[in-house]
Amino acid sequence: MNSRKIDRRAHDGKNGFEKEAYKNFLASKLSLDKTEGESVDINKTNESSFEEGGMEPKKIQKKSSQLKIKDFFYDNWVIALFGGFIVGLSILFLTGYISINREQGVQGEKIQSMEDRIKVLDDSNKENLNGYNLIKEDFNVFKAEISKDVEYIGKQLELYK
């Protein structure tokens, strides 16, 4: 037996026995599939027993949306990356704007509530001041009356002495 060194770049052909077995295999396959009466020459390569007209063309299937999107991102990954960055920044700015406006509204309501309370306290203070002034007037009148009574009593006591 003759041993040849086989590597991945070298072609290893068949020996005579293998070639003969392969020809017999092809002849048996062709004779089983054959529906015509004429013989097929296996050595000719420009003829075929395959009928080309009998095949129906395959219907072209459209790409799915998911595959189209995947292909787009694969082909345009730089644009998709910048687009995603811009969309992310836009969402960030929009949520920030909404948050700031909401906080301003809350602060505005608090300020309005405080102004209302101050107004109520001011009105209450004015009422209390009016009440205080009335009490002060009444006290001054009472003091004047008492001082007159004390003077009268003092004069009466001097007369009796």
The stretch 12-19 carries a mean pLDDT of 80
Is the pLDDT assigned to residue 67 strictly greater than 70?
yes
- Looking at 55-76, list the stretches that DSSP marks H as alpha helix, in order from N- to C-terminal side: 65-75
Confidence tier at 156 by pLDDT (50, 70, 90): confident
Q: Name the token pair of 156.
A: 């009466």
Per-residue pLDDT tens for 32-66? 554 555 565 666 666 555 555 556 667 788 888 89
Confidence tier at 74 by pLDDT (50, 70, 90): confident
**Mean pLDDT taken over the chain:** 80
Predicted pLDDT of residue 54: 55
Nearest Cα residue to 118 out of 134, 133, 110 = 110
Predicted pLDDT of residue 31: 58
Contact 14, 23 (CB under 8 A): no
Is the pLDDT assigned to residue 88 strictly greater than 80?
yes
Reported pTM? 0.35
**In sequence order, what DSSP letters do the residues of 125-151 get, joined into one string?**
HHHHHHHHHHHHHHHHHHHHHHHHHHH
